[in-house]
Amino acid sequence: MAHAVRALWPGGRALTWRLGGRPALGLPAQSRAGLTGAAGGPGPAATTRKGCPRLLGAAALALGGALGLYHTARWHLRAQNLRADLSAAQLSLSSRLQLTLYQYKTCPFCSKVRAFLDFHALPYQVVEVNPVRRAEIKFSSYRKVPILLAQEGDSLQQLNDSSVIISALKTYLVSGQPLEDIITYYPPMKAVNDQGKEVTEFCNKYWLMLDEKEAQWMYGGKEARTEEMKWRQWADDWLVHLISPNVYRTPTEALASFDYIVKEGNFGTVEGAMAKYMGAAAMYLISKRLKSRHHLQDDVREDLYEAANKWVAAVGKDRPFMGGQKPNLADLAVYGVLRVMEGLEAFDDLMRHTHIQPWYLRVEKAIAEAPQ
């Protein structure tokens, strides 16, 4: 069977090797002259005729096996070299970027971006934004987090929206296109949401802008690409909306959640004290409105459990991740959203009452073992 191995080099140039399997062995036809005995008996020539095919067959088998082993070893060696070349190419691309992430640590959208950056071993600086004054992002007309500033040589680009950040950076790593060009593929668009409020949406934000060969190399087929996009959107449109109703489900949980938020966030002393108690009370009440808006069950834990088990069923039993042997962008998105609940009662209940823990721990390990 022929194998195709493809590597992407800096600048987006694609090279493809076709490595053939074991070649067919063509043996010259044997001359019948001198192999025919005298009439009336087999003679020595007939004896030779019986023995030669066996010897030739054994020789052919041995030679074919040796060539097969040679080509197998050669293919594995080239595959290893190609993987090393690809890693070196991506490392070269990532080393050109200086990244600064403006975030709230407990924000699920920001956690998604950190999961992506950590898994891809992209170094970045973090600026924790004060959620009251937001002075750290006064330079931006876009007032939500996460915001990522990417310095590439003399070019400084601002990337907004967690899914746009992830799609743009992954496109950059795979294709090698200039980041300033990639950003133009995700234009902002003003829209009005269900509450009549004007919001900014981004076109194409779940798409990676790859050519056909790059997409084939990354996904192997259209089904895998469609699946990844579907579940990335599910994480944004559904899963993330289950976090607040669950972590602010009761007054006790709301207070514990804001105690965690204050400790991890960028608050002043007075701001922190006010946020802990006033914020907890406010979010407890708001969570009830969110429950009604998203048509959640009386016990919102049940919605969280159902979502987790739905995700586990989608991954299935035959692969460790939705991405196969390693997490894809959907794995990282779902993990990033759920991670913000770590240390809270909702997270402990989720691990205890669903089947998601083995998958969650595998993603956690994959991120921890990413080369730094």
Does residue 9 fall inside a structural domain? no
pLDDT at 76: 43
pLDDT at 261: 87
pLDDT at 10: 35
CA angle, corner 283, sides to 345 and 117, nearest 5? 65
| Residue 142, domain CATH | 1.20.1050.10
Catalytic residue numbers, as ranges: 104, 107, 109-110
pLDDT score of 85 more than 60: no
pLDDT score of 12 more than 70: no
Does residue 33 fall inside a structural domain? no
pLDDT one-digit tens code per residue, 274-328:
877 788 888 888 888 889 989 999 999 999 999 999 999 999 999 999 999 999 9
Confidence of residue 35 (pLDDT cuts 50, 70, 90): very low
Does residue 136 fall inside a structural domain? yes
Does residue 22 fall inside a structural domain? no
SS (H, E, C) 69-112: HHHHHHHHHHHHHHHHHHHHHHHHHHHCEEEEEEECCCCHHHHH
Give the residue-averaged pLDDT of 178-187.
Answer: 96
Structural domain count, the chain:
1
Range in 91-100, 185-194, 296-305 with the lowest mean pLDDT: 91-100
Does residue 39 fall inside a structural domain? no
Confidence of residue 252 (pLDDT cuts 50, 70, 90): very high
pLDDT one-digit tens code per residue, 134-144:
999 999 999 99
pLDDT at 240: 98
Average pLDDT, the chain: 81
Does residue 294 fall inside a structural domain? yes
Does residue 56 fall inside a structural domain? no
Q: Are 243 and 340 in contact (CB under 8 A)?
A: yes
Does residue 108 fall inside a structural domain? yes
pLDDT score of 37 more than 90: no
Short-list 342, 118, 333, CA closest to 240: 333
pLDDT at 215: 95
Cα dihedral: 102, 108, 114, 116 (round 10): -130
CA angle, corner 340, sides to 108 and 119, nearest 5? 75
Q: Are 160 and 142 in contact (CB under 8 A)?
A: yes
Range in 53-67, 82-96, 111-125, 268-282 with the lowest mean pLDDT: 53-67
> What is the span of the domain harbouring residue 246?
85-369
pLDDT score of 151 more than 80: yes
Instruction: Give Cβ neighbours of residue 327 (< 8 Å, ≥ 6 apart).
Output: 119, 321, 335, 363, 366, 367
